[in-house]
Amino acid sequence: MNIILLGPPGAGKGTQAQRLVEERGMVQLSTGDMLREARTSGTEMGNKVAAIMDAGELVTDEIVIGLIDEKIRSGNTAGFIFDGFPRTLAQADALNELLSRNGAQLDAVIQLDVDDAALVDRIVGRAKEAVAAGGEARKDDNEESLKVRLMEYYKKTAPLIGYYYARGDLKVVDGMAAPDEVAQGISAALA
Ligand code: AMP
């Protein structure tokens, strides 16, 4: 089974993807994680996208499609969870193409529905928690980048909700509930 977790920054995509990995052995494909890894290892691509990511803007479709293409080609039987991809209509079209080229298909798109006003609090909370735990907050978990990330989401990614609804793939899950309940909602939607 291949699914997309769709929702704005702070909706809980990463948390829920992690649970699906643990419970179902699925493979999480987070383009955000892949890009952060590329930065840490200092690859040419990582250096190129660093400033864009810190500002909260989207990197080019070409780069993220290339990253996902490589992972899909490597294949897996338990299924992929696409987390933070696709984020544009061009990426959504590319994903269809990449999956079908590999004899696979998309089974469901889970939209984590959240209250817009709660997102800023959640993300600022996430940054504080990371620091309190002795770690470092994400460079883009600050109010200025967050405004840009939300605007990018509403301008470029939110149209995917209509796109997947029209394809009949969309399942809406209440993302405001506690993580356990959200996980149950996702299981019910996938049953
Ligand atoms: P995330 O961890 O999903 O919040 O992603 C962090 C940042 O990585 C985003 O703000 C973008 O700059 C970049 N990014 C991640 N996934 C994508 C994508 N599918 N398309 C474009 N940019 C992306």
| CA 186 – ligand 1 centroid, Å | 23
Lowest mean pLDDT among 75-79, 156-160, 177-181: 75-79
Burial class (CB in 10 A: 0-12, 13-18, 19+), 99: middle
Residue 150 CA to residue 97 CA, distance in Å, equals: 27
Is 164:6 a contact under the CB 8 Å cutoff? yes
Give the pLDDT of residue 123.
Answer: 86
Q: Is 149 in the pocket of ligand 1 (CB under 6 A)?
A: yes
Amino acid at 19: R
Q: What is the mean pLDDT of residues 80-101?
A: 97
Residue recorded with tokens 């996430």 = 126
Q: Where are the alpha helices (DSSP H) in the chain?
A: 13-24, 31-40, 44-55, 61-74, 89-101, 116-132, 143-152, 159-167, 179-190
Q: Would the pLDDT of 125 be above 90?
A: no
Give the pLDDT of residue 87.
Answer: 98
Residue 134 CA to residue 181 CA, distance in Å, equals: 29
- Percentage of the chain modeled with pLDDT above 70: 100
| CA 56 – ligand 1 centroid, Å | 8
87 is catalytic: yes
Is 148:57 a contact under the CB 8 Å cutoff? yes
The pair of structure tokens assigned to 125 is: 């909370």
**Averaged pLDDT score across all residues of the chain:** 95
Q: Is 84 in the pocket of ligand 1 (CB under 6 A)?
A: yes
- Residues sharing a CB contact under 8 Å with residue 163, sequence separation 6 or more, in sequence order: 89, 92
Q: Tell me: the pLDDT tens digits for 26-80?
A: 999 999 999 999 999 999 999 999 999 999 999 999 999 999 999 999 888 899 9
